[in-house]
Amino acid sequence: MMGYQYNEQHYKLTAHRRQQTRMTQVINLSEPSPNHPALVELAEEIKLWGREQGFQHIGITDVELGKHKAHLQDWLDKGYHGEMQWMTTHQDKRNYPTELVPNTIRVISARMDYLPENPQHIQILKQKSKAYISRYALGRDYHKLIRKRLGLIARKIEQRYQTLAAQYQWTTNEVSQRPFVDSAPVLEKAFAEKSGLGWIGKNTLVINKNAGSWFFLGEILTNIPLPINLEIAENKCGDCSACLKVCPTDAFVAPYTLDATRCISYLTIELKTSIPEAFREPIGNRIFGCDDCQAICPWNKYARHSQEKDFSPRHTLDRSNLLELFAWSEETYLKNTEGSAIRRIGYERWLRNLAIGLGNAPKSDEILQALKQRLDFPSEMVQEHISWAIKQQQSSKKSRRKIKRETE
Ligand code: B12
Ligand code: SF4
Ligand code: SF4
């Protein structure tokens, strides 16, 4: 804390000078206010530093979550989080960021685009012998990259703020900040919307009218009273409901509400156990995540391709054959997914997901043989999925590409 240094010399000043000094004391002891020109300038600098670090949009907001707290509670009460138990813990931290990082009063939200050049979603989804991997997971894991870049920005903010605090003799010169990406108890989409990065669409993702939704979010929680964004982006979903209709597993209970337990992203990435049979055919060749409710969104015609080299597809994962990936040994899997988000599901779930893809692939002896050869893999879950895939390969029934909630 910066304090005013009381000095005996003051007594020697004339009455006039003494009054002047008292006025200066008041100014010296002031708290920085969000409309202080130096903080307005700092907010602009943060946006510039964001661009330098590869972020396309930075916005600043306060910590009030309003309606989002109730929405989250309702979602959890209905069990839409499934096995994601971590969504039910630390609710105080999720609802009140100051419980996560003490003294937080602002959230600096950041957007980083990830769509690679020539994403070919539809082409790969249609070629059923190919593996479809969500376009966000083709390159380097975004968590480390974004957290590191946000950390660099946070350090710059701290240094600049401390210089300003000394210059203006603000009472608070201690900076408390932390960067977050994805896995922490932070309602990232709510803060992004409040920061002006876009609106939360019916598909529950944040959409920007000039950039679509193919981006990651990250944030810095800070105690610096920066000026906040006051303009929330207008919701431009209108009468559209394309995302709700396209979902292969009918995972949207209503616009803006997703039952995660039906979402292919949850089933292939989050779910650690067996994938319920009803969802296996609609999963098709999606072996890691799903992009359908984004790919269909008309606002994504404005999406920009990422310039980030680290997000470029590795090991041709954007267009690999299912059989080729199924042939990877655990060692190859670990080597080829090093530093990638795909690593987190582990080899067992990797094979589980690939077995579903192969069960849905065009009938072929090569696939049947490859499946049979793996039947001795030491995991009951994998064996059961392979057996299912073999049955599918041998069946003459046409696979269902979609299921509806009511028909279950
Ligand atoms: C849990 C989670 C999932 C779960 C659940 C998804 C979900 N919709 O909640 C699963 C595993 C299914 C998932 C999937 C995906 N995810 Co995800 N996921 C998260 C995570 C960790 C938490 C999200 C959360 O808080 N959910 C809780 C529920 C309650 O939120 P919600 O349904 O969106 O509801 C909010 C609002 O919509 C609103 N609301 C709720 N109900 C209603 C009702 C009405 C009427 C209204 C008006 C508003 C409203 O209030 C809620 C609270 O803000 C965030 C990271 C983070 N820490 O925030 C990433 C995050 C949301 N995921 C992300 C991504 C990229 C994906 C996928 C595209 C990945 C993929 N390709 O497979 C898919 C997309 C699926 C989809 N349509 O959402 C990005 C989204 C970026 C963006 N542009 O918005 C995030 C922000 C990660 C990141 N740091 O970039 N994800
Ligand atoms: S990611 Fe796929 S499965 Fe999940 S809600 Fe979107 S379209 Fe449905
Ligand atoms: S597809 Fe249509 S309804 Fe869905 S998020 Fe995009 S604009 Fe909104």
Domain ranges within the chain, ordered by starting residue: 31-394
- Give the separation between CA 139 and CA 131, rounded to whole angstroms: 15
What backbone phi and psi angles, to 5 degrees, belong to 111? -120, 135
Pairing of strands 215-222, 206-207: unpaired
Per-residue pLDDT, 183: 86
Name the residue of 67, 68, 71 to mutate for ligand 1: max ligand atoms within 8 A of Cβ.
71
**Contact 176/225 with Cβ under 8 angstroms?**
no
What pLDDT score was predicted for residue 173? 83
Residue among 121, 207, 265, 266 to mutate when testing ligand 2 (max atoms within 8 A of CB): 265
Any idea which residues carry the catalytic annotation?
A: 182
- CA-atom Rg of the chain in angstroms: 26
Neighbours of 24 (CB within 10 A): 12
pTM value > 0.85: yes
250-272 burial string, b = 16+ CB within 10 Å, else e? bbbeeeeebbbbbbbbbbbbbbe
Digit-coded pLDDT (tens) for 75-118: 999 999 999 999 999 999 999 999 999 999 999 999 999 999 88
With a Cβ cut-off of 6 Å, ligand 3 is lined by 201-203, 207, 237, 240-243, 296-299
User: What integer pLDDT is reported at residue 13 of this predicted model?
Assistant: 36
Selection from 133, 122, 135, 110 nearest residue 192 by Cα: 110
Sheet holding 177-180, edge to edge: 57-61, 106-113, 215-222, 177-180
Q: What pLDDT shows up at residue 252?
A: 98
Q: Are 110 and 57 in contact (CB under 8 A)?
A: yes
In angstroms, rounded to a whole number, what is the distance separating the alpha carbons of residues 282 and 376? 26
pLDDT tens across 159-207, in order?
Answer: 999 999 999 999 888 999 999 999 899 999 999 999 999 999 999 999 9
Task: Return the ligand 2 atom nearest residue 246 CA.
Answer: 7
Distance 241 CA to ligand 2 centre (A): 13
The predicted pLDDT at position 16 comes to 40
Q: Which ligand is nearest to the CA of 260?
A: 1
Question: Burial of 384 by CB count in 10 Å (0-12 exposed, 13-18 middle, 19+ buried)?
Answer: middle
CA–CA gap between residue 229 and residue 62 (Å, rounded): 9
- Give me the residues of the chain with pLDDT under 70, please: 1-29, 407-408
Residue 26: the pLDDT is: 44
